[in-house]
Amino acid sequence: MAYFGVQGRSCPDISALDEITERFSSADGPGHWDIASCKDQAGFFNLMAIAYWSSAEQFERWKQKSQFNIWWNSTERESGEYGFFLEIVSPQPANFETIFSDRSSPEGVAWLAEEMSGEMYEHGYWGSARDRLPVAQNNVLRGTRKTHSRTASGKRIVLSGSNNLCLIRSGQDWSATQQEERQKYLTEVEPVLHEGMDFLRDQGHTVGCLSCRYMQVVDPKSQVLAEKTFGLAHFTDMAALERWAKSHPTHVAIFGGFMRYVKELNFNIALRLWHEIVVVPEESQYFEYVNCHQGTGLLRQDSGDLL
């Protein structure tokens, strides 16, 4: 799972990702990719291509064959108006889980799957995500607090990983909603969700969240914002994510608002929800930031902003 980012004080045009996305069609390219954008806590715009490969080996072959490595490592990336970043996690199948409210609408890593299961029993109670994660059945997945950085050059920073880092991408698709449901979602549910994501973005260090981006999907052909959003967050470990989800006022408000929404619509909703959770060992992570501000992604927790 590779997250390619372009960052600027003004919103980058989608063409700023062309040097990356045009290479996706070359040999050993990703099985699926999305484009999304957000504004970070420093007021910078971030445009990202999020791509999924079926194996780390295929990804490495793609980087070489497409000459991405040559482009990425060029000193030209270290100057100009844009910053660039690359955040990579390479989990084994036992280290991730993904779940959907509508099995006919795959997202993210599910595009690489051969099939999708039916309804699951491990859902709808606190701790169910851990019960769905195969590796968690015999491992508490305790994480470490910080990563360590080394500077490859003045404008290039590489971060090493931290054990059992937990990444969640949790999405909402309201494109199929109509009238009353759409109004309720946009005026009652989404603002509360947005507030919770802003908390994790700005104050997440108080609950073990190292980075959070609340992103909106961009259609790569029309370049129009789609009616899809997702939170993309890194936590020190799965326990930190679970604590925030179960008891923090911001997530309690999100959960409560959604339950009211569902009940008021008599459980007949067109809103589609999904998420993927990944728990990754230290050696299966790679983070590099080029010409980016110090609050970008996981750089922030390495720059002294976290306790």
Active site members: 275
- b or e along 227-257 (b: 16 or more beta carbons within 10 Å of the residue's beta carbon)? bbbbbbbbbbbbbbbbebbeebebbeebeeb
Distance, CA of 20 to CA of 303 (rounded, Å): 28
CA-closest candidate to residue 155, choices 76, 38, 261, 248: 76
DSSP string computed for 90-107: ---GGGEEEEES-TTS--
CA-closest candidate to residue 161, choices 149, 170, 153: 149
Q: At what angle do helices 249-264 and 190-203 cross, to 10 degrees?
A: 170
Place of tokens 């999405």: 171
Three-state SS letters, 116-144: CCCCCCCCCCCCHHHHHCHHHHCCCCCCC
Q: Which residues pair with 273 in a beta bridge?
A: 172
Diameter of the chain measured on Cα atoms: 57
Distance, CA of 17 to CA of 123 (rounded, Å): 37
**Three-state SS at 302:** helix
Say which residues have a Cβ less than 8 Å from residue 24's Cβ, sequence separation at least 6: 30, 33, 49, 51
